[in-house]
Amino acid sequence: MKRVLLICSVVAAFAGCSDPQSPGVEYMPDMYRSPSIEAYEEEKLFADHSGARMPAEGSIPRGFMPYQYENTTEGYEMAGKELKNPLPYSEELVSEGKEIYGKFCVHCHGKKGKGDGAVASNPKWPGPPPAYDGARLKDLPAGKIFHSITYGKGLMGPHAGQINQEDRWKLVYYVQTLQGKDLKAMQAEAGSDQKEMEEENKEDNNTENQDA
Amino acid sequence: MSRFYSKIGNVKVLMHACVLSLFIALSLQVDAQDGKKLFRGNCASCHKLEGKLVGPALSGVQDRWDSKENLIAWIQNSQQYLSDNPGDDYAHSLYEEYNKSVMPAMPLDEAQVNAILDYIANPSAGEEKEAGAGDKQMVAAQDSGEDYTLYWLLGFLVVLLIVIKVLLDVKRSVKHLLYDVKGDEGFEKDGEVQDFNWSTKEKLQHWAGRNKVLVALMGVVVLVVVLNVVWQGLLGVGVYQGYAPEQPIKFSHKIHAGDNEISCVYCHHAAEKGKHSNIPSAMLCMNCHQGIQEGSRWGTEEISKIYEAVGYNTETAEYDKPKKPIKWVRIHNLPDLAYFNHSQHVVAGEIECQECHGPVETYDYPMKQYAPLTMGWCINCHRETEVKMNGNDYYDDLHAELVEKYKEEGIEKFTVEQIGGLECAKCHY
């Protein structure tokens, strides 16, 4: 009887111990932990011991179109001039953009894009981003918005790794509504007389570049 | 206005002039006080007073420029200034040095720029002190939040021991008293201790012999308790619930997802796209921590570990140091024999992260595993959870089919079980 009790308590001590530093006992883990590399596993095969590998340099996923403009001031200006939203405007896209905005942007830029999100108002954050409908960003063209989300701008980091291109274009639509743009009217105009619109745009952008 | 003045006469005009000038003086003062606010609102996202951020440190900037007019013109519209003054080598070399990153034109008038420059020249010492005090308060609040349960328990135990000791002493005294008064007789009647020379073991045996039923009962109770502990222990084999290992960086979900309202998918963005929910790369941390270089709890100690990981140099504001990846300790880890997919649950199933991971936004460092992640846990949920099919285009076709199939039973709502969520091959293959 004594011995049984002793064994029982030893087993209990081992199995039941709840040390938060240890995941606990695994019994015969042969099929739990297979030899293939799992996500985020350490792998001694590679020099840096990281199981997660980068794709070979220059490789492009199927069906993926890399972003054409470089991360320079020239690239930024060119994108502003040339890039157009490839997604045809619809209200659905704007509301999808709003949803994405709520996940990825709202904590800095704030609900209405006034630059009053929780992180931006944290005293440790150097300075809030400018309001979308303020003097600095009110007339930012779609291409520049896309460019800035892709590569980041100043203190804002790049978001290309988190948000794919299509979602970024949806975001552009939503940011434009926060800028106070009447997208429907813009779209209608573009549809009715595209060529004229483009020329106008060019002029607009030229004047813009001078003070941007 | 003029008619008004002419009617009332010169004295009043003078008075009005006084009031007006006072008003102007006051408004100027407001501007000076607003210097800090204007700086934070317009410039702080690129400039710090000390140390580089996106642009150069601004402390002592007036000494670097030969005239204040030029400086003001630069601040109002730097690109304009550059094209107007092709001869200003300093400004042009600065522009080149910062890789031609453009400082945007500022919609500020001269008074406002002056207020900012005043603030830069003399960032009032009083306010800095205030901020420092605030930080300390935060730290103090943190400290008092420490876990004192252990100390309480120990204290309680000590008190308990003292009380027991006193009671025993009292008992012995009373016994001696009785002995003195009644002599040996008194004890025999009580049936307690007959001989003070018995060893403890003998006393115990004697007592047990007189209380067989009680002893048997106690034995059963002890056995049940021990068996229960062993059973629970065995059930816990291979279950990580409550696992909360130390991490290389004291990353707190409460600070990020709670206090600063960052949504889970900002960092765990793959949860909506694929099987695994990614752990964010250190570069993603830099989206915010390029700006936030000091925390209120651990100062620069923890955040500087991010800089080490990505090779960021806070002096030059560039990534020019060797990189050293962070080795997070993995918490959740299903055995390979089971398949689990995040996007299936989060996007198609529209289940909140919190249902499986608990109120993560309240978890401070370290992160822990909330659910047991046993097969029973999965299956229970699949039995009970209704699939959210309405307004979920992922299920449009399937829903129509299922309604057709279950027409006789008249079922409109379906649990995961009914769409095959209990089939072994859904999770094991």
- Predicted local distance difference test score (pLDDT) of residue B248: 92
Higher-pLDDT residue of B190, B374: B374
- Alpha-carbon distance of A40 to B328, in angstroms, equals 9
pLDDT category at A186 given cuts 50, 70, 90 is confident
Q: For chain A, what is the largest distance between any 2 Cα atoms, rounded to a whole number of angstroms?
A: 97
Q: For residue A163, give its domain range.
A: 75-201
Q: Do B288 and A125 touch (CB under 8 A)?
A: yes
Kindly report the CATH number that applies to the domain delimited by B2-144. Answer: 1.10.760.10
By Cβ distance, the residue of B48, B102, B233 closest to A11 is B233
Q: Does B279 touch chain A (CB under 8 A)?
A: yes
Q: Quick check: A79 pLDDT over 70?
A: yes
Residue A58 lies in a domain: no
- CATH number, residue A141: 1.10.760.10
- Say if A172 falls within a structural domain: yes
Q: Does A118 fall in a domain?
A: yes
Give chain B positions within 8 Å (CB) of A159: 287
Say whether residue A64 is in contact with chain B using an 8 A CB cutoff: no
pLDDT at B201 over 50: yes
Closest Cβ–Cβ partner in B101, B237, B284 for A26: B237
pLDDT at B325 over 80: yes
pLDDT, average across residues B227-233 = 87
> pLDDT digits over B249-289, tens only?
999 999 999 899 899 999 999 999 889 898 998 989 999 99
Interface probe for A, chosen from B39, B45, B54, B112 (most Cβ of A below 10 Å), is: B45
Overall domain count for chain A: 1
Residue A171's pLDDT band (boundaries 50, 70, 90)?
very high
The per-residue pLDDT for B205 is 87
Q: How far is A194 from chain B (nearest CA, A)?
A: 30
The answer to whether the beta carbons of residues B105 and B76 sit under 8 Å apart is yes
Interval A109-135: pLDDT, tens: 999 888 888 998 888 888 889 899 888
Pick the range with the lowest mean pLDDT from B193-197, B222-226, B322-326: B193-197
User: CA B132, CA B49: separation in Å to the nearest integer?
Assistant: 17
Task: Pick the residue of A6, A28, A41, A103 with the most B CBs within 10 A to test the interface with B by mutation.
Answer: A103
Q: What is the mean pLDDT of residues B162-176?
A: 88
Q: Is B236's CB within 8 Å of A22's CB? A: no
Note whether A103 contacts B263, CB cutoff 8 Å.
yes
Q: Cα–Cα distances in Å, from B7 out to A123, B1, B14, B18? A: 54, 10, 14, 18
**Residue A65 within a domain:** no
Rounded to two decimals, the ipTM of the complex is: 0.80
Shortest Cα–Cα distance, B3 to chain A (Å):
39
Domain layout of chain B by residue ranges: 2-144, 147-192, 198-237, 374-429
* Residue A2 pLDDT level (bands cut at 50, 70, 90): low
Q: Tell which wins on pLDDT, B427 or A48.
A: B427
Peptide bond into B366 cis (omega under 30): yes
Supply the pTM of this predicted model. 0.78
In the predicted model, what is the mean pLDDT of chain B?
80
Taking residues B168-197, report their average pLDDT: 69
Residues of B in contact with A71 (CB under 8 A): none
Q: Do B233 and A14 touch (CB under 8 A)?
A: yes
User: Could you give the CA distance from residue A48 to residue B345 in angstroms, rounded to a whole number?
Assistant: 33
Residue A85 belongs to a domain: yes
CB-CB contact of B115 with B32 (8 Å): yes
Angstroms from B398 CA to nearest CA on chain A: 24
Question: What pLDDT digit, counting tens, does each position of A51-76 carry?
Answer: 888 889 888 888 888 888 888 888 89
Instruction: Say yes or no: A1 contacts chain B, CB-CB below 8 A.
Output: no
Position A6 in a domain: no
Residue A10 included in any domain:
no
* Banded model confidence at residue B37, pLDDT cuts 50, 70, 90: confident
Residue B149 has pLDDT above 60, yes or no: yes
